[in-house]
Amino acid sequence: MPNIKSSVRSVKTDAERRARNFPVRSAIKTATRKVVESVETGNADEAKNLLTKTISVIDKAVAKGVIHKNAAARKKSRLARKINSLAK
């Protein structure tokens, strides 16, 4: 536990922020995993539907400030590449 007053407050607010961000990050991981699983099974239509939902989840996380916009773009791009490789 820190001794400095501002550090004590910082620890408390960091814990609150972490608790607020965790479910959002978890939702991103879950949605991403569903897309990857549908790609692995070869179900292109389901994968495309799940991709739109996943992109929505990722964009909402960016709006809330949970992840950076470039990290979101990277995640969306990687998922789109997986689906596009399925089409070939």
In this predicted model, what pLDDT tens digit does every residue of 35-59 receive, in sequence order? 999 999 989 999 999 999 999 999 9
Q: Which domain CATH number covers 66?
A: 1.20.58.110
Sequence-ordered alpha helix ranges (H) in the chain: 5-41, 44-64, 69-87
Q: Which pLDDT does position 88 carry in this prediction?
A: 65
Domains in the chain: how many in total?
1
Residue 53 structural domain:
5-87
pTM of the prediction? 0.89
Distance of alpha carbon 41 from alpha carbon 18, whole angstroms: 34
Query: What is the mean pLDDT, run by run of 10 residues, along the chain of 88 residues?
Result: 94 96 98 96 93 98 97 97 86
